[in-house]
Chain A
């Protein structure tokens, strides 16, 4: 790796950047701080130190259920959307009218999420589909796939297609070539697709809230209702856990990305 040239940064710029960082990070610090407080009201600066809100979270089957539902949703949605999004992006990139197809497949990105949620609800009502786990899952798949399609399209577009052709000429069929040559070449795009598909599904509130019933409360819905009607530092504890997991995953990905 080449070393970046050290440059002196003007002092005013440093101050401005620091202020911006504090502004962005402050709410997160408040949440992390308050998750370790020993008193029940959400105050800052936090009073005392305890892990009781973490204990409460892990004891409460309601929280654990909601977490498990969200994890299941996000895992299945990630698998399905990465598969669908990658294959459609690959097809779009190979097609004659790729720009037209790309616009078509990513139209959902231009529709406000709340409208998509409402539309899905009405659509399911019309079809008389039961609003269960699978209904939420299909909603998430519809919502997340275009993000993956767009990311993967960029990867396939940058991909040097002659290595694919080289593999064909050397005797590998199309499917084998896709698995052995194309996928490894778009690995970083795939990894970020997996990451963002998971996060997008896991943290989605707007779609889920239209499709969930009492039996299928996802974690974001439970956080939202709890914050509205029954604010407790357990919320901070959960948020802190999510933040730590997210940062860890991002760092792991960056590590692998660098060694590509």
Chain B
């Protein structure tokens, strides 16, 4: 049974449709990120799961139970807010104990769990402090411990790391992930930071304007983006737009803004089909020499950023398109300087293809 199932969830504020048919399935123990730009509806989704907001339509099932009629305080979820939301008039230990008291857990049991909770996030030595005497990172840990001691059905985190500095953020990413694995707690993690989502999650739901554009493992999303939005929001993609010009039993040729491009034979595409091709910078090879092979496009280097283990080039093709190319472990044959001419080339199967519907083009 899935720990969380969301079916056709829709949310309107007044007349404005903020969420449009959200569907999501999360297995027990999975770490799932809701990733998307600010304002796309991540927090709204999380608050509906928690029970802090009512859906306009659609259902939420937690461990198989439709929670439409279960009020927020009966759902037994753990939540960590962006501003931590610790109770200012309670000490660290009292903050952690609060939820246990609400669940009518005996005093002896409570004391044991509070101690375990503080050990989990390495805060035993701060038990008697008040929240305003703690640093941001420490408050974050208390908020996490407070949510986890309840052994929640779901752990819900709303951009919990966005107020921390970069170094602390990376440390907390690792720590949250380790604790999550140790306790095997099903986790929904909201973030707008694609690196964070990719590095922490089992699965990522990429959201945009109230819909989930794609739901999959980090590898699937990176290697096989299904929409233009996903391909540009996660990592960088060069966009190739074109029309199928030739199709025979061996190959397909596209007429594109990069020139003539060959792609593997595809069902469903006919001469005249409009295509969007997505090409990752590190999937492109840059060479000093150029022949007349297919998918070999002449270009001039216009920018070169050296980063030790890799070099990032921006090149201009003879068709006047800027293309970003990352050369990993550069050597003699592909170390070009600005102004130098060369050629970019890629394997046909390394380009992701999205068929463009006519109504989407304008």
Q: Which of A159-177 contact B (CB under 8 A)?
A: 160, 162-163, 165-174, 176
- Report if A162-B146 is in contact (Cβ < 8 Å); known contacts: A169-B78, A172-B73, A176-B102: no
Within 276-326 of B, Cβ neighbours of A (below 8 Å) are at: none
A184 is an interface residue with CB less than 8 A from chain B: yes
Asked whether A181 and B87 contact (CB < 8 A) given A168-B73, A170-B99, the answer is: yes
Q: Is the CB of B52 within 8 A of A165?
A: yes
**Cα distance A174–B51 when bound, in Å?**
13
**Contact B86 A163, beta carbon cutoff 8 Å:** yes
Bound together, the chains give a CA A172 to CA B156 distance in angstroms of 17
Complex CA gap A168/B78 in Å reads 10
CB under 8 Å from chain A, chain B span 227-256: none
CB within 8 Å of A: which B191-238 residues: none
> How far is the CB of B87 from the nearest CB of chain A, in Å?
6
Contact in complex: B73, A173 (CB < 8 Å): yes
Tell me whether B103 and A185 are in contact (CB under 8 A).
no
Is B83's beta carbon under 8 Å from chain A?
Answer: yes
A128-173 interface (Cβ within 8 A of B): 160, 162-163, 165-173
Greatest chain A CB density within 10 A among B51, B81, B147, B156 is at B81
Contact A163 B85 (CB under 8 A): yes
Query: Closest CB-CB distance, A161 to chain B, in whole Å?
Result: 9
Q: Nearest Cβ distance between residue A28 and chain B, in whole angstroms?
A: 37
Say whether B77 faces chain A, with CB atoms less than 8 Å apart.
yes
Contact with A along B92-117 (1 / 0, CB 8 A): 00000011001100000000000000
Q: In the complex, are the beta carbons of B85 and A166 less than 8 A apart?
A: yes
Chain B residue with the shortest CB-CB distance to A176: B102
Interface check B55, CB cutoff 8 A: no
B88 contacts the other chain (CB 8 A): yes
Tally the A-B contacts, defined by beta carbons under 8 Å. Answer: 66
B-side contacts of A167, CB under 8 Å: 87, 98
**In the complex, are the beta carbons of A163 and B77 less than 8 A apart?**
no
Please state if B89 and A169 are interface contacts (CB–CB under 8 Å).
Answer: no
* B150 pairs with A171, CB closer than 8 A: yes
Question: In the complex, which residue of chain A has the Cβ closest to the Cβ of B75?
Answer: A169
Q: B263: CB under 8 A from chain A?
A: no
We find that the number of chain A residues with CB closer than 8 angstroms to chain B is 19
Contact B103 A171 (CB under 8 A): yes
Bound CA span A93–B88, Å: 21
User: What is the bound-complex CA distance between A160 and B79, given in angstroms?
Assistant: 16
User: What does the 1/0 interface line of A28-66 toward B look like (CB < 8 Å)?
Assistant: 000000000000000000000000000000000000000
Is B127 on the interface with A (CB-CB < 8 A)? Answer: no
B121 interface residue (CB < 8 Å to A) = no
Instruction: Assess whether B73 is in contact with A163, with CB atoms less than 8 Å apart.
Output: no
Question: B63 at interface (Cβ–Cβ under 8 A)?
Answer: no
* B350 CB–A CB distance under 8 Å: no
Query: In the complex, what distance in Å separates the CA atom of A87 from the CA atom of B73?
Result: 22
Q: Which of A93-113 contact B (CB under 8 A)?
A: none
B72 near A: Cβ within 8 Å? yes
For the complex, what is the distance from the CA of A160 to the CA of B82, rounded to whole Å?
12
Interfacial chain B residues near A184, Cβ < 8 Å: 89
Indicate if the CB atoms of B89 and A170 lie closer than 8 Å: no
Complex CA distance for A163 and B79, rounded to whole angstroms = 11
- Among A163, A170, A174, A184, chain B packs the most CB atoms within 10 A around the CB of A170
Judging by beta carbons under 8 Å apart, are A169 and B73 in contact? yes
Q: For the complex, is B336 an interface residue (Cβ under 8 Å from A)? A: no
Contact of B81 (CB < 8 Å), options: A165, A172, A173, A176: A165
Name the distance in Å between B156's Cβ and chain A's nearest Cβ: 8
Q: Which residue of B lies closest to A183 (CB)?
A: B89
Interface assignment of B76: CB less than 8 Å from any CB of chain A: yes
Cα-based distance from A173 to B102 in the complex (angstroms): 9
A172 to B99, CA, bound (A): 7
Task: Report the minimum CB–CB distance from A168 to chain B (whole Å).
Answer: 5
- Determine the chain A residues whose CB is within 8 A of the CB of B79 once the complex forms: 165-166, 169
A172 and B102 contact, CB distance less than 8 A:
yes
Q: Is the CB of A169 within 8 A of B77?
A: yes
A163 touches B87 (CB 8 A): yes
Instruction: Pick from B76, B77, B85, B147: contact of A162, CB below 8 A.
Output: B85
Within the complex, the shortest CB–CB distance from A107 to chain B, in Å, comes to: 28
Q: Is B188 an interface residue (CB 8 A)?
A: no
Contacts of A172 in B (CB 8 A): 73, 98-99, 102
Structural contact, A162 and B98, CB atoms closer than 8 A = no
Most chain A beta-carbon neighbours within 10 Å: one of B75, B83, B86, B102: B102
Pair B98/A170 contact, Cβ less than 8 Å: yes
A108 to B52, CA, bound (A): 35
**B50: Cβ under 8 A from any A Cβ:** yes
A sample of 10 cross-chain residue pairs with beta-carbon separation below 8 angstroms, ordered by A number, consists of A163-B87, A165-B79, A165-B81, A166-B81, A168-B72, A169-B51, A169-B156, A172-B98, A173-B73, A185-B89
6 smallest beta-carbon distances between A and B, as pairs: A170-B99, A171-B102, A162-B85, A166-B85, A169-B79, A184-B89
